[in-house]
Structure 1
Amino acid sequence: MSLRTRSDQAVLARHGWLHAVATVLGALIAMAVVAALGLWAAGAADLPDNAFPRVVAATVVTAVGGTIELSGNAGGLADTNAGLTVIPLSVTLVGALVLGAGFLRPLRHRAVTGAGELAGWAARIAVLWLLALLGLALAARQTFQLSLGEGTLSDLGELFGVSPEVGFTTDVIPTLFFGLLWLAGVLVVTLAVSRGAPLPARLLRFQASVRPAAYAMVALLLAYVVLGVLIALVVAATRGHAAETLAVILLGMPNLMWLTLTIGLGATWNGRVEGPFGLPMPRVLDEVLRSSDTATLNLSTLAEQDGRVWWLLVVNAVLLLAAAFVMAARSPARTRAWQHAVHMAVALALTVLMICLVGRISAHYGLSVLGIGDLGGDLGGDLFLKPELWSAVGLALLWGLVTGFLGALLARPVRRRGAAGNGWKR
């Protein structure tokens, strides 16, 4: 057996089942730790019936696109209805970073890989991922009994035998489907972002245009999250509320900051907050969402509450220009400025489309007795937040064209011929 053949077999052995187990477990443990700490900071550790582990499992499930169904029971004379759609993107982001790093680790120091080898490595991870996700889906179910408090509601409850309960279960089949789709997206983005990861020979011609743009978008999203964490820590140090701030950081910081990114582009979101529900966002956003039945959330409406919101335009321009500069600096010198502009526009539009799809929030819970509406108070509430999708994507295309062109001009002094290929021409 030749030395070359033995070397190839050693490389193949490094991404067998054992390494796949380590990759999947590492991602799930990281997500569970972040979710548990965030829920603990939010006060979920005090839930009755030892429900905390099941709530953690449900949080991890929703973080990868899983479906949680809410159910209610209030006896024969009362009715409950509930619904929840939200993705805790802090947990999602941590899982994607750990999973991507584990996926790339055995592929280092390779120039080219075969499509079959790459698909086999991804399939090992996918099989273990589905098994782990199935276990989480079966564990994520719980029922809670709600207290009617004191006064009229309590008297009605005793009179009519109303003892409201609310619980959650996992819809297993959609959870496995969307969890697998999430995994595929993470692996594809990981290969697109990493300049040193090997690709099948047929895909090498695409890396000069795809990889610099993908890297720039991931860097942009991470920069927004880091900026949000720094602001949150400063606010916690100066104004208190450390536990609430930690909960926002560990559960919903990307939800808040990527929403801010789209608003800074000029995008519009529509939403409402009423009842005991709330969103992990600054006071000015919450006030706008509580101002009417369906509130409009954009730069103009936010500036009516606080004029400093216009600084979002400046922050967006600086960070987008920096991302365009990074993209151009990592691209081959032969790429023209208008091509950089097109690459940046497409990449930013896809990024904003992703934010609009995963950043939607909706939640509702209501209790009615004898068919008379929701009782309101702490026993009913409604919130939703959804974007005006295509206008947001259109604005992203426009911003991408402008900043991509300017970034290409700024990067001319530092660009090198074949820069995008330095990671695989070994």
Structure 2
Amino acid sequence: MAAHGWVQALAVVLAGLLAMVVVAALGLWAAGAADLPDGAFPRVVAATVVTAVGGTVELSGNAGGLAESDAGLTVIPLSVTLTGALVLAAGFLWPLRHRAVAGARELAGWAAKIAVLWLVALLVLAFTARQTFSLSLRDLGQDVLGDLGDLFGISPEIGFTTDVVATVFFGLLWLAGVLVLALLVSRGAPLPGRLLRFQESVRPAAYAMVVLLLVYVGLGVVIGLIVAATRGHAAETFAVILLGMPNLVWFALTIGLGATWNGRVDGPFGLPMPHVLDEVLRGKEVSTVNLGTLAEQDGRVWWLIVVDAVLLLAAAFVMARRSPARIRAWQHAVHMAVALALTVLMICLVGRVSAHYGLSVLGIGDLGGDLAGELFLKPEVWGAFGLALLWGLVTGFLGGLLARPLRHRGEVAARTEG
């Protein structure tokens, strides 16, 4: 246990936290949040990191006795989440890199040290992410409401605070998921002896899914940089890259599979997504978002099927190459189907977006009127899950067949035993 003690655990936690703070701060700065009043920028950064690990930030409003306000926001900045997960996973695995087998007690002790220090970090973030802003009704472009505000001395306020209990619970749950996934993905990470029999079926599939998700993010970043260089709006594009690139590209992954999402954009809300998506969602009723509705706005959307097919087949091939030679094609199909279905389920859970606000003064500017807005995007989960199973079966089987003529891990050992 001396090889990875409290000092090493502190370094891992600080590195992960610093990486998340830097990415969140740069993304918010590119989005213009550095101009927030009352020195709120550091607190907004803290709130962004809290939501990135699954914590809850609650919006509050106070418009006085003659007014009403209402607001809510649910979104996970997955660029920040992914950055923290990669740094924490690398730090967790680093002291174990030269080990073949590790005892369950040793792994649990090493993870517990990181978890204790991560708990402290979560508490600091939770108590830092609190701020209240004063709003000017005239700045909102409402002269009548501005006159009423001046007459009655109404100064609406909106703020945010953190649900400490929820932040600690989901933050620790997120950390546990990151550490377990790190053990599953890394071929060189040691496992307790009792779990070694599961590594042949689980590790190659988990590795393939992580590579698949990272490749999508990489493609999204490249496209974003090209857009920033050729079409302008560089600051907004960098904000999307640093805060929500996985939100966009993993959503596109599910759309390419044939999944359906439902959503709506009402009011001045805008989506950090391609214009075609905003066109589909902006309307009076709830809109259906899938290949068909998006293709009505831009026929190039059909290329998402091709991209999905190529990358999923490549992921299945990688999975088969990392599996023992004795695994058959139909087994690869089952492993790929389960892995892809769980991956899509994860995307559906973390990729949904919901935001709303409203302000009413003496009944003017009703909570559902001009000073109100709503945005949401939610998946049809079980449809996406079933499609992922089907795609996984097909690509897993084909990937297994493609990898069969090539030597993969376990082939030499199998021949020696023979």
Runs of 4+ in 1 over 3 A off after TM superposition: 419-422
Amino acid at match of 1:144: F
- Alignment partner of 2:367 out of 368, 374, 380: 374
How much does 1:380 deviate?
Answer: 2.3
Contact 1:195 1:420 in 2 (8 A): no
Secondary structure of the corresponding residue to residue 55 of structure 2: coil
Query: What aligned pairs does 1:379-398 form with structure 2 within 5 A after superposition?
Result: 379-398=371-390
Q: Does 1:194 align with 2:192?
A: no
Could you list the per-position Cα deviations for residues 94-152 of structure 1 after superposition, in whole angstroms to 9, with x for gaps in the alignment? 00000000000000111100000000000000000001100000000000111212521
Q: Does 1:94 align with 2:86?
A: no
Distance 2:409 2:45 in 1: 49
Distance 2:203 2:152 in 1: 64
Q: Does 1:131 align with 2:127?
A: no
Contact 2:59 2:73 in 1 (8 A): yes
Q: Does 1:304 align with 2:296?
A: yes
Secondary structure of the corresponding residue to residue 293 of structure 1: coil
- Alignment partner of 1:57 out of 46, 66, 74: 46
Q: Structure 1: where are the runs of 5+ without partners?
A: 1-11
Q: Does 1:411 align with 2:403?
A: yes
How much does 1:421 deviate?
Answer: 9.3
Amino acid at match of 1:309: V
CA RMSD of aligned residues (A): 1.4
Report what 1:82 is aligned to: 71
Distance 2:122 2:59 in 1: 19
- Alignment partner of 2:31 out of 20, 31, 42: 42
How many residue pairs get aligned? The number is: 410
Report what 2:4 is aligned to: 15
Report what 2:148 is aligned to: 156
Distance 1:237 1:164 in 2: 40
Query: What aligned pairs does 1:193-342 form with structure 2 within 5 A after superposition?
Result: 193-342=185-334
Distance 1:126 1:409 in 2: 42
Contact 1:146 1:165 in 2 (8 A): yes
Could you list the per-position Cα deviations for residues 295-337 of structure 1 after superposition, in whole angstroms to 9, with x for gaps in the alignment? 1110000000011100100000000000000000000000000
Distance 1:417 1:182 in 2: 32
Secondary structure of the corresponding residue to residue 374 of structure 2: strand
- Alignment partner of 2:19 out of 30, 40, 43: 30
Report what 1:103 is aligned to: 92
How much does 1:417 deviate?
Answer: 4.9
Could you list the per-position Cα deviations for residues 388-421 of structure 1 after superposition, in whole angstroms to 9, with x for gaps in the alignment? 0000000000000000000011111223351699
Contact 2:209 2:340 in 1 (8 A): yes
Report what 2:132 is aligned to: 143
Could you list the per-position Cα deviations for residues 17-48 of structure 1 after superposition, in whole angstroms to 9, with x for gaps in the alignment? 00000000000000000000000000000000
Contact 1:274 1:381 in 2 (8 A): yes
Identical positions, percent: 80
Contact 1:284 1:305 in 2 (8 A): yes
Secondary structure of the corresponding residue to residue 413 of structure 1: coil
Distance 2:116 2:409 in 1: 41
How much does 1:64 deviate?
Answer: 0.1
Amino acid at match of 1:57: A
Contact 1:248 1:280 in 2 (8 A): yes
Could you list the per-position Cα deviations for residues 328-351 of structure 1 after superposition, in whole angstroms to 9, with x for gaps in the alignment? 000000000000000000000000
Contact 1:331 1:415 in 2 (8 A): no
Q: Structure 2: where are the runs of 5+ without partners?
A: none
With the length of structure 2 as denominator, give the TM-score of the two structures. 0.96
Distance 2:247 2:207 in 1: 20
Greater CA deviation, 103-112 or 154-163? 154-163
How much does 1:170 deviate?
Answer: 0.2
Distance 1:45 1:223 in 2: 31
With the length of structure 1 as denominator, give the TM-score of the two structures. 0.94
Amino acid at match of 1:133: L
Secondary structure of the corresponding residue to residue 4 of structure 2: coil
Report what 1:7 is aligned to: none
Contact 1:330 1:415 in 2 (8 A): no
